Amino acid sequence: MLSKHNFNQRDQLEIITLDQLVPANHLVRKMEDSIDFTFIYDLVIDMYSEVGRPSIDPVILVKLTFIQYTFGIRSMRKTIEEVETNMAYRWFLGYGFHDKVPHFSTFGKNYERRFKDTDLFEQIFYRILMTAAERKLIKVLNTYLSIPHM
């Protein structure tokens, strides 16, 4: 018997939370449970002014980069496109269904204005990698750290 799917379900109204859409075993949940990103605020506080327009949360900027590298996304433009539609990424960033995602150029502008010519990103990612290794989220780092560097 030939069955046809009813495509009229596209406008079905549901009451659901973003949390319900992210599987319990998704990698973003493991990262969020294992890594406390709030240490970033102490590292960047001197790079932000008390006056002016509100900035993009620096933890969001780092998490965007973290999403990009963890999931093998090739550019920040593509990362932002993915965040717009991927509920797990939105959940990881702390965004809701209707929160506006920053423009892809926001990361580049912040990097140029605040982080260029500093080792801040290295400090942040080193700490994240060490935490991830301690929590057994990655195995490659342990091998890398045990190899003598020239």
Question: Is 6 a member of any domain?
Answer: no
Q: Extract the tokens encoding 46.
A: 């001197």
Output the CA–CA distances (angstroms, integers) from residue 19 to 22, 81, 96, in the order listed: 6, 20, 10
pTM above 0.85, yes or no: no
Question: Is 37 a member of any domain?
Answer: yes
- Whole-number Å distance between alpha carbons of 19 and 7: 26
Question: Is 4 a member of any domain?
Answer: no
Domain limits for position 61: 19-48+55-146
Question: Is 5 a member of any domain?
Answer: no
Question: Is 40 a member of any domain?
Answer: yes
Q: Extract the tokens encoding 44.
A: 């960047």
- Whole-number Å distance between alpha carbons of 90 and 78: 14
Question: pLDDT tens across 61-104, in order?
Answer: 999 988 998 899 999 999 999 999 999 999 999 999 999 998 88
Q: DSSP secondary structure string, the chain?
A: ------GGGGG------HHHHS-TT-HHHHHHHH--TTHHHHHHGGGS-SSSSPPPPHHHHHHHHHHHHHTT---HHHHHHHHHH-HHHHHHHT--SSPPPPPTHHHHHHIIIIITTSSHHHHHHHHHHHHHHHTTS-SHHHHHHHSPP-
Q: How many domains does the chain have?
A: 1
Residue 32's contacts (CB-CB under 8 Å, 6 or more residues apart) are 92
Which has the minimum average pLDDT: 75-79, 91-95, 127-131, 136-140? Answer: 136-140
**pLDDT-based confidence at residue 149 (cuts at 50, 70, 90):** very low
Question: Is 12 a member of any domain?
Answer: no
* Burial zone of 42 (CB within 10 Å; 0-12 exposed, 13-18 middle, 19+ buried): exposed
Question: Is 32 a member of any domain?
Answer: yes
Question: Is 90 a member of any domain?
Answer: yes
Contact 83, 94 (CB under 8 A): no
